[in-house]
Chains A and B, each alone.
Chain A
Amino acid sequence: MENILNWITEHQQIIYIVVLMVFVGIEIIGRVPSVLHTPLMSGANAIHGVVIIGAIIVMGKAEHDNYIALILGFLAVVLGTLNVVGGFVVTDRMLEMFKKKK
């Protein structure tokens, strides 16, 4: 029990961020019209591509002789980039269609 309490105190900053972000996430898309559901999903999809940063760190920390880490890290960077770049470009293409006519 004490362990858990210690852990919570130690990581309180992170826990605060998690709790607040949950509310922010729910609050900001609360009133989205159904027309925008798909682009919004796609945009959110691109944003969780932020996982790429973890992949870059893994890659950048891998020792030169640790081939497993190098290969897996490289794969992670490629996949993460696909998620970010593909996600934003697809969203932009969808939203391009929404522009108002002159």
Chain B
Amino acid sequence: MELNILTICYLIGSITFILGLKMLSNPATARKGNLVAAGGMTIAIIGTIFLYKDEAGQKLHNYIWIFGGLAVGTIVGVMAAKKVKMTAMPEMVSLFNGMGGACAALISIVEFNHLTSGKNEIDLYLTGIPHGQLLIILLGLIIGSVSFAGSMIAWGKLNGSVKDFSFPGQHIFNIVLLLLIVGLATFLVINLNGSNAFVFYIILALSLLYGTLFVFPIGGADMPVVISLLNSFTGVAAACGGFLYDNKVMLTGGILVGAAGTLLTILMCKAMNRSLANVLIGSFGAKKVAGPGAAPGEQGAYKEISLSDTAVVMSYASKVIIVPGYGLAVAQAQHACHELEKMLEEKGVSVKYAIHPVAGRMPGHMNVLLAEADVSYDKLEEMEQANEEFSSTDVVLILGANDVVNPAAKSDPSSPIYGMPILDVELAKTVIVNKRSMKPGYAGIENDLFFRPKTSMLFGDAKKVLQDLIAEIKSL
């Protein structure tokens, strides 16, 4: 009876995951979808704690430890998730993803110990090595720890504490490393005995190393894609656990995320008009390629514009398009931005926002930020729409965006971002770029746009500049 109820709990869990994910892909139902999935998860967890029985009919024990762990995780998780700033969301997702990967790897370690403990060579010989089970344990270990290590590096990169790092031949080294992991795992599955169980821990160490090296050289601008990919990895690692315990809800949840995450990764790549392989491998030598054609300093002079000039140009324009980027997010300038918009609208200027699909550090990042500042939805335009409107626009104000407006993506085949669709801001009459300095953007490449005759630079922190600009416009 109890097991039957547990089956129902798992069934409900699986259905809510599918429904939740489906609802999450539609703006009108997204929030409800998240709650539906969370509800299903709660039912599955509670059911497991109280109703689970293993093959021998034994119920779970160690309730104090279980509830202790749940309590610690819940408190820390809620606090971290509530406190994190909107701008730091991407690294938060990466961090949580890493936790899931580590959890899967830990399960594998415990189960492996279970498998080998107290057994010597003869025992294993007599009972036979459970090849299938061992394979799943190893898969969970490898995928889980790659996902954990990779997510930690991605997290460090997004919050700026880890810098890009690569060495010559790293690509080949990574492939060799991966082959070595696969080779050792195959060896262990076929030949496990009492004396070579230590190979398991070598595989663990190599997987962690691989996860680290795999993410290290990839540029920060591509981190969303990497996180999405690691996200689907963790899904597969969770599914391995489902295989291990013959647990259908883990299996469905894990595979669902594995498949959806992979597709989402590809969709994100498509938004940048690049292939996944290009994102993962293309990062190598990005700096080398930038060498010919575009040596810094050769590009001539840029022109600066004062705040009062900007204020005048903008308030007498009839149409202004604002292009937000990561700089806006870092400076927390979304509210100031909305205020500027309102002020200009009062003066009869039409103001819109052009949102590049990968503006900020995650797709949708800018929409979330601007929505937080109460910018109305119909003011946000997607790239295609915006590109049609630039030619009839008087002033384009670029706030801390760089790579998404870099004309090199169209004109310079040697550029690492070549082929990425960009916002054609140059079609507008005037382009004003707000940046903190002339430093290149996240992809680490120079931007020709800043040196074009139509472009003027307005240096400073986005929030400060916008506040000063608002004050200037008020005093006009």
Residues of A within 8 A of B (CB): 7, 11, 14, 17-18, 21-26, 28-62, 64, 68-70, 72-101
Question: Which of B35, B61, B250, B377 makes the CB contact (< 8 A) with A53?
Answer: B250
Chain B residues near A89 (CB, 8 Å)? 77-78, 81-82
State how many angstroms separate the Cβ of A13 from the closest Cβ of chain B. 9
Q: Which residues of B contact A57 (CB under 8 A)?
A: 48, 52, 54, 60, 245, 247
Provide a sorted-by-A list of 29 A–B residue pairs whose CB atoms are within 8 angstroms: A14-B251, A25-B257, A26-B259, A28-B25, A38-B368, A40-B24, A40-B25, A43-B20, A43-B37, A45-B93, A45-B97, A50-B13, A50-B44, A53-B48, A56-B49, A57-B245, A59-B69, A69-B110, A73-B62, A74-B68, A82-B73, A86-B78, A86-B92, A88-B38, A89-B82, A90-B96, A92-B31, A97-B372, A98-B27
Does A55 contact B103, Cβ atoms closer than 8 Å?
yes
B72-113 contact mask (Cβ, 8 Å, vs A): 1 or 0: 111011101110101001101101110110111011011101
> Which stretch from B179-187, B358-366, B446-454 is at the chain A interface?
B358-366
Name the B residues within 8 Å of A96 (CB-CB): 31
Q: Knowing that A43-B24, A54-B238, A76-B69 are A-B contacts, what are 12 other residue pairs whose CB atoms are under 8 Å apart, sorted by A's residue number?
A: A14-B243, A25-B263, A32-B25, A36-B30, A36-B364, A40-B25, A47-B235, A56-B60, A62-B110, A74-B65, A90-B81, A101-B374
B18 at the interface (CB under 8 A from A): yes
Q: Is the interface of A mostly helix, strand, loop or mixed?
A: helix
Chain A residues with CB under 8 A of B31 = 92, 95-96, 98-99
B397 at the interface (CB under 8 A from A): no
Task: Give the docked Cα–Cα distance between A64 and B78 (Å).
Answer: 30
- Across the A-B interface, give the 10 residue pairs with the lowest CB-CB distance, nearest first: A81-B73, A60-B60, A25-B259, A77-B69, A54-B241, A85-B77, A37-B363, A89-B81, A50-B253, A86-B77
The main secondary structure of chain B at its interface with chain A is helix
Measured CA separation A101–B48 after assembly (Å)? 40
- The residue in chain B whose Cβ has the minimal distance to the Cβ of A21 is B255
What residues on A are CB-neighbors of B96 within 8 Å? 45-46, 49, 82-83, 86-87, 90
Q: Is the CB of B110 within 8 A of A58?
A: yes
- CB-CB under 8 A from A21, the residues of chain B are 251-252, 255-256, 259
Cβ of B254 under 8 Å from chain A: yes
B363 to A, closest residue via Cβ: A37
Contact of B62 among A70, A75, A100 (CB under 8 A): A70
Q: Residues 450-463 of chain B: 1 if any A CB is under 8 Å from the residue's CB, otherwise 0?
A: 00000000000000
B positions within 8 Å CB-CB of A: 13, 17-18, 20-22, 24-27, 30-31, 33-35, 37-38, 41, 44-45, 48-49, 52, 54, 58-63, 65-66, 68-70, 72-74, 76-78, 80-82, 84, 86, 89-90, 92-93, 95-97, 99-100, 102-104, 106-107, 109-111, 113-114, 132, 224, 227-228, 231-232, 234-235, 237-239, 241-264, 267-268, 271, 355, 357, 362-365, 367-369, 371-372, 374, 376-377, 382
Given known pairs A21-B259, A86-B80, the reply for A44 and B231 (CB within 8 Å) is yes
Task: Flag if A34 contacts B271 (CB, 8 Å).
Answer: yes
A98 pairs with B30, CB closer than 8 A: yes
CB distance from B276 to the nearest CB of A (A): 15
Query: Is the beta-carbon distance between A47 and B65 smaller than 8 angstroms?
Result: no
| Cβ A70 vs Cβ B65 within 8 A | yes
What is the bound-complex CA distance between A97 and B86, given in angstroms?
Answer: 10
Contact B376 A101 (CB under 8 A): yes
